[in-house]
Amino acid sequence: MATRKLSSLLSLSSSFATSSRSLGRFSSVWQRGFSATTPRNEGSSAPAKIEYNQILINGKFVDAASGKTFPTLDPRTGEVIAQVAEGDQEDINRAVAAARTAFDVGPWPKMTPYERSCILLRFADLLEKHIDEISALETWDSGKPYEQVAKIEIPMVIRLMRYYAGWADKIHGLTLPADGPYHAQTLHEPIGVAGQIIPWNFPLLMYAWKIGPALACANTVVMKTAEQTPLSALYVTNLLHEAGLPPGVVNVVPGYGHTAGEALSSHMLVDKIAFTGSTETGRAVLEMASKSNLKPVTLELGGKSPFIVCEDANVDLAVETAHFALFFNQGQCCCAGSRTFVHERLYDEFVEKATNRAMKRVVGDPFQKGVEQGPQIDEAQFNKILNYIRSGVDTGATLQTGGERFGSKGFYVQPTVFSDVKDDMLIAKDEIFGPVQSILKFKDLDEVIRRANASHYGLAAGVFTRNMDTANTLTRALRCGSVWINCFDVFDAAIPFGGYKMSGFGREKGIYSLSNYLQVKAVVTPLNNPAWL
């Protein structure tokens, strides 16, 4: 495998995959053609200590107003990890009131930008100090491999917080020339109380993508976590308060979308909504925001990203990168390269090598060293993926490998590869959100551009070619928010991320995300007898 810079996600994930395969040779058993680890435990021992399972409002952990709780489950076994306080409308009201006070009369926007920056930097230091506990909690609640969390995701969270800490004292307006004796300037002001709704596939990364720019711009936050993965956000927000965050600035409400999420999206005292999740839910969030106080909304939604392997591509590198682009995080990535378009001259070779790579993928207990793929998040997602696989078989795609449940306990799905996939098949059109690679054949650039763009989604794309003219043509022709050339999933803190079409609008990360959390105010003052204009 080609060497990458350690700073990129692809590099970290590639080196992780390499070490996983070598470790798997002596730590795994073979089952149904796939490399599989023997489960370390059957849920009998706790991988982490559950310290926080209540709602966090105004700096304190409290029970839900209703007294209700809901279970969060271990995807390895389906067993209950903990009962978590179930927030609903009353809890959202309490959280918004705390955030409103912290913004309107509290200390946060009145602190100097340097003071806010120092708190975010201390928070990053605490995340680094507690990386083992955080990684164990995230793995337990989400099912993703521990090595992935500890080596890739939490370091990215730490980097993001330091990145936005650096922005806190660099946000400023402009002085503008005006026609006449006036001094004109713009102020970049915080938007107010930001409602943020994060998904279950990358709980802490999405947490950082949301709170980083919001806090750097001096806003306050009410965050609704996904009901499947509430534990890590509660844990790290406690560290954020330990770093010096004033009470009420960040409030975390676990709960369900139809109760807590709806209450937050339609709340009249929330000034902005940021949502990451499905396109269907994004529509509902946008509608609720518009019908309440017309609050602005940013949406990062679904995807069906094309991964285009051109005629001159390095096949072995393309196979490995396409494998990573689809199977990373159990295929539960909104930007997953889930439509693999391969030039007809390379198609048979690519299919054979992609199938062999999938069969070597190490599946098993995500806490075991060397495991590349853990369970899907829950039974609903598990069943959805298996239904799509059956659909692929029924509509005539060739099942190269996988296609079934892996093991007898938990929500594991075999790494699955389809060839002979046609554009009108559901596995080529719908976002499966699972470890299912669909490989399609194309003849020329005009054809693949037309087919790649023939989707309601427009989140990302991958292009594999050695020809810069080909790369430039595809980069400009593909209707999506990110194009990775000869790589995939490079998520530097400074690189913006977001979608075209039904993949949403607005951008996460980088300088572009700051505009989501700022208002621009024009200020004009007359000048009496100015020396110059």
Interior/surface letters 456-467, b for 16+ CB within 10 angstroms, e for the rest: ebbbbbbbbbee
Q: Could you count the other beta carbons within 10 Å of the beta carbon of residue 186?
A: 14
Total residues found in the chain within this entry = 533
For residue 307, what are the β-bridge partners? 340, 462
- Read off the tokens for 381: 């997602």
The answer to whether residues 368 and 416 touch, using CB atoms and an 8 Å cutoff, is no
Query: How far apart are the C-alpha atoms of 197 and 255, rounded to whole Å?
Result: 10
Contacts by 260-263 with C-beta closer than 8 Å and gap 24+? 260/87, 260/88, 260/89, 260/91, 260/92, 260/224, 261/197, 261/224, 261/285, 262/288, 263/88, 263/89, 263/92, 263/93
Query: How far apart are the C-alpha atoms of 462 and 308, rounded to whole Å?
Result: 6
The DSSP element (H or E) to which 388 belongs, if any, is helix 379-394
Give residues with Cβ within 8 angstroms of 172, minimum separation 6: 188
Query: How far apart are the C-alpha atoms of 403 and 385, rounded to whole Å?
Result: 9
The answer to whether residues 509 and 495 touch, using CB atoms and an 8 Å cutoff, is yes
Phi, psi of 309 (to 5 degrees): -105, 110
Residue 495: half-sphere exposure toward Cβ, Cα within 13 Å: 13
| Active site positions, annotated | 300
